[in-house]
Amino acid sequence: MSDCCSPPGVGDELQGLLDPSYDSYNPSEVRLYGRPALRNIVVDQEDTQRIVEELKRAGLKDEGTGNILKTAEKIIESILVNVHSKQIILRAVDSKGNVVTLPVNVNIPSENYRKNKKHYIKSIGVIYGYAYEGHCYKLPKPQIMYLPSEPRAILGSDCGCDCGYVPELGYAVWQVDKLERVIALDVRSDDVKTLILEENTPGNRSPMAYAQTMALAPQRHRD
């Protein structure tokens, strides 16, 4: 598809993004269009209030909480950055309010970048489409991706859009070489019957026939 499409709105227009780089022609460049993850404050107002209350319980007066609060925020942020920079972490909150984490090690060229105090993965985005060799394409469904470049602002073309992904709908663009390493997450949400039972049977069958179907499935011969 090369004409303007009608993508959905994904948020408010983003401010402060750099313009795309057109210094040279890169025939292997892929332009990814999507919504970048926003840089959220690590310690929010609710966390700040809890820290202040704990300091007061410890007997600290109001005039002394300011500097200690700033120091505590810096320590918390540095700890989280230190932990999260080493790996990708999937998180969930259980029924008791505890944070359950699952560290994920991925095969990306990160060691040399760590030695130089750099990080290969620089941003996260939900990608809806892409452009390659002058043509625009839409993904069948949005894809969550960890990307080695920063998102940039979209500049309007002659038709008033950039593959239909206009900044007014909340989109940004990533300029990535086709040989760059990225991480794509396949996230699906449904009931267990759909994602597990029906996904592993060749057709829709009644629950009584499930065990028989799986037992009679042809076995793969091993060498």
C-alpha 41/C-alpha 179 separation (Å) is: 33
pLDDT at 185 over 60: yes
Q: What is the mean pLDDT of residues 48-77?
A: 69
Q: Which residues of 12-28 are buried (b: 16+ CB within 10 A; e: fewer)?
A: eebeebeeeeeeeeeee
Closest CA to 35 of 63, 7, 66, 3: 7
pLDDT at 84 over 60: no
Label residue 218 by pLDDT band (50, 70, 90). Answer: low
> Domain for residue 123, yes or no?
no
> Domain for residue 140, yes or no?
no
Work out the end-to-end distance of the chain between its first and last CA atoms, rounded to an integer number of angstroms: 45
pLDDT at 130 over 90: yes
Give me the number of domains the chain comprises. Answer: 1
Q: Please, what is the average pLDDT of the chain?
A: 76
Q: What is the mean pLDDT of residues 48-76?
A: 69
Q: What is the mean pLDDT of residues 3-31?
A: 83
pLDDT at 125: 94
pLDDT at 188 over 60: yes
Q: What is the mean pLDDT of residues 103-107?
A: 75
> Domain for residue 24, yes or no?
no
pLDDT at 1: 44
> Domain for residue 73, yes or no?
yes
Label residue 186 by pLDDT band (50, 70, 90). Answer: confident
Residue 89 pairs with which residues in a beta bridge? 103
Closest CA to 134 of 24, 25, 6: 25
> Domain for residue 88, yes or no?
yes
Q: What is the mean pLDDT of residues 198-204?
A: 69
C-alpha 14/C-alpha 38 separation (Å) is: 10
> Domain for residue 192, yes or no?
no
pLDDT at 85: 56
* Domain enclosing residue 60, as ranges: 45-103
> Domain for residue 86, yes or no?
yes
> Domain for residue 77, yes or no?
yes
Q: What is the mean pLDDT of residues 145-173?
A: 82
Instruction: Count Cα neighbours of 118 within 13 Å in the Cβ-side half-sphere.
Output: 8
C-alpha 104/C-alpha 88 separation (Å) is: 5
